[in-house]
A and B are shown apart, each in its own frame.
Chain A
Amino acid sequence: MIAVGIAFAVTMLGLSSLLGPRKPTPEKLAPYECGMPPVGDARERQSVKFYLVAMIFLLFDIEVAFLYPWAMALRDLGWAGYVQVLLFMLLLLAGYVYVWRKGVLDWGAEST
């Protein structure tokens, strides 16, 4: 069965590359960018801020992801669970304050 499947796939791919018509135009050879004409090379230098923002987004996104299950099990976990989540939030808050004061959230002029 597997051999037949592989043989079929290989035959079909081989036939289409042998028999198919080829009319390359510059548009066809350009990388696909959602239908827009491409504006330049993708390998450009990105501002390092994007990485920071992505990282911080990930952190706080996960924070929220942790809060949902806690909210669902709120009554079962009781006060001990509440204290633990509070501690977790406080630690993240300290990180947030640090990030804020260090100017990572500062989107203004190019400053570094």
Chain B
Amino acid sequence: MFASFHAIVPMLCVTAAGFAAMVAEAFREKGEPMPIGPLGVVGLIGAAVSTALLWDRHATSFGVVTADNFGLFVTAILIVVGLLSLAISAPTVEREGLPRGEYYALMLFSLAGMMLMATATDLLVIFLALEVLSLAIYVLTGIRRDSQMGAEGAFKYFLLGGFSSAFFLYGIAFVYGLTGSTHLDRVGTLMAAQATSSGPLQILAVGLLLVGFAFKVSAVPFHMWTPDAYEAAPPAVTGFMSTGVKAAAFAAFVRVFLSALEPLIGGWSEIVWVLAAATMILGTVVGVAQTSIKRMLAYSSVAHGGYLLLALVSGNDTAKGAVLFYLLVYAVTNLGAFGIISVLETRDQANDRVTDYAGLWSTHPTLALMMTFFLLSLGGFPPMAGFIAKWYVFAAAIHAGYVWLAIIGVLTSVVSVFFYLRVIVMMYMSAPDADTRTTLPAVPQLAGAAIVISALIILYLGVLPTRVLEWAAASVSGII
């Protein structure tokens, strides 16, 4: 009787922790400190244990959630994202006086939605998961209620997100109209059996689904909300949503487009080609012009979405493994970078202009060193993990014959190094401007530990990537 629940146990652990956080908040007296963050850690550890136990088991729940190794690998990435986010959130919640129960509960609910999205094998369940994760993220974006910018960013994100969900649902309706099913493997078989792969209905179905996914992974031209939402949210939330949402959305993206809609690949590969090229180019070029580090990282996040799309369009097994490894590396790196932005922020001042980082080396040498690691990894410098991740993505693209796309990728990657290096140069070679800069705060221990751990992970993955790469490559076989 309970065997049908096995595949959703990781989600249940996280959801339970979220509910515990919510109920704890309900019974918390005003101003009473309560260890709600650690509750989330307990839930995530439960999820990690159950993920490890489910590995290689191919458990299925209710026919719509499959804990195959691909989904479990993404779940593992999401658990890492969750743990690091909880650690870097703690000082923010404390400093800004955010409602801690709601903050952690929303973060955990959204994580549960992400995990569901990574393991769902039915279009309707994917849609459900998308909504669960998005609604929580919209609220988290605007969680600083007194901040005008927060409200604006959250509202923009909410409106555009609502539209994109509608597109996605409409796409599901067309898929159902074509095949009479929303289940991914049924859809795949029935699509393959159809005579044409590029009829108007097929194009509509694929196009509408593509809009929904492209919005969530902030691919150009659906990236407009990204810089505003990323800048408006507290940096800890930005780190969480830029990595978690990307991991979950790309997992479902790969699942839907490379299994269910694989028979229609002739119809969508060119469109995704253009999206990937536009995303890489625009993310990089506009990123160069930014003066705020948060906006710069937002555009860098857009560009990284482009590299992942490049892997998606390649479509072979190497590419699927490369997507998994890239998502892991990107998640850890970006969370580390946003962790640093988050600890340098004070209550009144964001301290997120590039010039605020001038002379960081002389005031906070460790932070400056860590930031260097993260930025080099984002830029794809060896020996950081970002280099290996990019290398695999480009190798997969060349292997699949997309040489031009790989060339665009390498070129934009070189250009992007310019704006990462600019921050590094600022940190090491400029003296702090005595007039304009504010004193930077001391670093809280927990967040500091999370940042150091992120840096160690990307160093490890950069120097000894073989084991994790093999896991990633092994987990894409048998994906539905």
Residue in A79, A83, A97 whose CB lies within 8 Å of B23: A97
Question: How close is A12's CB to chain B, nearest CB, in angstroms?
Answer: 38
List A contacts of B4 (CB < 8 A): 80
Return the chain A residue nearest B19 by Cβ. Answer: A94
The size of the chain B interface, using a CB distance under 8 A, is 9
Which residues of B, 3-39, contact A by the 8 Å Cβ criterion? Answer: 4, 15, 19, 22-23, 25-27
Question: How close is B226's CB to chain A, nearest CB, in angstroms?
Answer: 29
Interface string of A94-112 (1 = CB under 8 A from B): 1101101110000000000
**Complexed CA–CA distance, A79 and B1 (Å):** 8
Interface string of A3-47 (1 = CB under 8 A from B): 000000000000000000000000000000000000000000000
Question: How close is B12's CB to chain A, nearest CB, in angstroms?
Answer: 9
Question: How close is B133's CB to chain A, nearest CB, in angstroms?
Answer: 17
The size of the chain A interface, using a CB distance under 8 A, is 11
How many A-B pairs with Cβ below 8 Å? 20
List B contacts of A102 (CB < 8 A): 26
Q: Is A91 an interface residue (CB 8 A)?
A: yes
Which residues of A, 62-92, contact B by the 8 Å Cβ criterion? Answer: 79-80, 83, 91
Return the chain A residue nearest B26 by Cβ. Answer: A101
Interface string of B366-395 (1 = CB under 8 A from A): 000000000000000000000000000000
Are A98 and B1 in touch, CB under 8 angstroms?
no
Given contacts A80-B1, A80-B4, contact A91 B19 (CB under 8 A): yes
Are B26 and A97 in touch, CB under 8 angstroms?
yes
List B contacts of A94 (CB < 8 A): 19, 22-23
Return the chain B residue nearest A101 by Cβ. Answer: B26
**Complexed CA–CA distance, A97 and B1 (Å):** 30
Return the chain B residue nearest A94 by Cβ. Answer: B19
Return the chain A residue nearest B23 by Cβ. Answer: A94
Question: How close is B242's CB to chain A, nearest CB, in angstroms?
Answer: 28
Return the chain B residue nearest A99 by Cβ. Answer: B26
List B contacts of A98 (CB < 8 A): 22-23, 25-26
List A contacts of B19 (CB < 8 A): 91, 94
**Complexed CA–CA distance, A94 and B22 (Å):** 8
Most chain A CB inside 10 Å of its own CB: which residue of B1, B4, B26: B26
Provide 10 A-B residue pairs closer than 8 Å at the C-beta atoms, listed in order of the A residue.
A79-B1, A91-B15, A91-B19, A94-B19, A94-B22, A95-B22, A97-B26, A98-B23, A101-B26, A102-B26
Interface residues of B, Cβ cutoff 8 Å to A: 1, 4, 15, 19, 22-23, 25-27
Closest 4 CB pairs of A and B: A101-B26, A98-B26, A94-B19, A98-B22
| Apart from A97-B26, A98-B23, A101-B27: 5 A-B pairs, beta carbons within 8 A | A80-B1, A83-B1, A91-B15, A97-B23, A100-B26
